Every structure is written in structure tokens, then in C-alpha cells.
Amino acid sequence: FDMDHINRMTSLAVAGQASRDSSRASSPRFELSEKLHAEPTLPMPEKVSGSPRERGLEQLVHNMERLFTRFADVQQCLAEIRDYTQNGKRVQNVYPNASEPPYVNITCQKQLSENVFIDERRPVLLCEGRLCLRVLQDLFNLPVVEMMYGPLWIVLVADADGFVPLTFKPKGELTVRNGKRKITLRTPGSPDDSCPSSPAPSQSPTAPTEAS
């Protein structure tokens, strides 16, 4: 009985060993010692390196978006410069604040008769330091506008945009008049001015006679 029991145990052990060998050949597996070293160490680097990698990608995307935005601004500036150099126009105007409008005070000399003059004073808004000639003509009803410059009167012209090709300082003082005059007009500060209250030319030689 004992020998039969030992033989059965031996046959079972041999059969179990054969089945383990066959399963090991068909599906290889890690030993217990390899599992203890492999399972804790292999996934950990992925978990540790995955989070900084995602943060790095997010930061890279954010930096690229900012770079593209700045690049678009640079393209807009280049387009404005190209259009300004080719056509003399600006694509987008930057207007000043309404609390401090840039303007000049323009005084128009109007002659009612030979010795009667009136001055009409109007503040006119500047557009980037420039004046629109059509506005001056319509405002003072002047077909040709002359501007006083020291002892001279300069006829104003317009560029392609309708502006006087000069820049003016805000709150400046300008004096204009009708350039198509039929009679002599006075020029303030000029030695050739004829003032209505001045004596007639025939009365001037009497002064030295009385003094003598």
C-alpha cells in the first residue's frame, strides 16, 4: 500500500513538472524575482516623466501662440509701412483723445470795402498736424487761400489727399485771406501797409514845414 502510494505521488509530481515545462515553453513569464524588480521600476519613470512632459508641451504651445500673435503684429506693421511708402497713406490712423483735440486758431481777413476790414476767427481741427484746404475754403468762402508768413503772403495748395502740405503745431495762430483780391489789402506788420486811420499821402510834407 505504501509503495503504491509513493508511486502515485511520483507519477503526479512528474506529470506536474511536465505540465509546467510545457506551459513555460508556450508562454514565457518572468520569475518572481524579476517581477519584484521589474514591476515597481518600469512604470515609475513613465509616471514621473509624463507630468513634466505635459507641462513642457503646454508651455511650448503657449509660447508658440504668443509668437504667432507677435508675428501677426509685425506683419501688420510691415503692411502699413509698405502701403505708406508706396501710396503715401496710412492703413490705420491713431486719433488723439477728444479731451485734448489738436487745433489751430485761424483768423481770416475780409475786406468789405477799400478801407474797411473785418477779422473772422475760427478754431480748426488738425488731422495729424495738417489742415484740409477745402475746409478753409468752405469755412471762409475763399476760392484761393493765402496764408501770412512774416511779411509774405503764401498761396496754399493741396496734396493728393486734399491737405495743405505743411504741418502745424496745436494751438497755433494763423492768418489767411482771399488770394483773388481786386484791390490792395493790408498786411499786418508790413511797412507797405495802408491803414484806414493813417493820414493821406498829401498831408505828410506839411510836418517838416511846421517844424521849421
CA 41, CA 130: separation in Å to the nearest integer?
Answer: 76
Query: Which of 163, 162, 144 is CA-nearest to residue 154?
Result: 144
Q: For 118, phi and psi rounded to 5 degrees? A: -130, 150
What pLDDT is attached to residue 47?
47
Please name the residues in contact with 157: beta carbons below 8 A apart, sequence gap of 6 or more. 133, 164, 165
CA 113, CA 103: separation in Å to the nearest integer?
Answer: 31
What pLDDT is attached to residue 6?
55
**Count of C-beta atoms within a 10 Å radius of residue 187:** 18
**Tens digit of pLDDT per residue, the chain (212 long)?**
455 555 666 565 555 555 555 555 554 554 545 554 555 554 554 444 557 888 888 888 888 888 888 888 888 888 888 777 777 655 556 788 889 999 999 999 988 887 888 999 999 999 989 999 999 999 999 999 999 999 999 999 999 999 999 999 999 999 999 998 755 555 555 544 444 443 333 444 444 444 43
What pLDDT is attached to residue 123?
96
Q: Do 109 and 177 contact (CB within 8 A), yes or no?
A: yes
Q: Do 103 and 168 contact (CB within 8 A), yes or no?
A: no
Please name the residues in contact with 136: beta carbons below 8 A apart, sequence gap of 6 or more. 106, 124, 142, 145, 156, 176
pTM recorded for the entire structure: 0.44
What pLDDT is attached to residue 101?
93
Task: Tell me which amino acid residue 132 is.
Answer: C
What pLDDT is attached to residue 111?
84
What pLDDT is attached to residue 9?
60
The C-alpha cell that represents 72 in the structure block: 501677426
CA 3, CA 25: separation in Å to the nearest integer?
Answer: 33
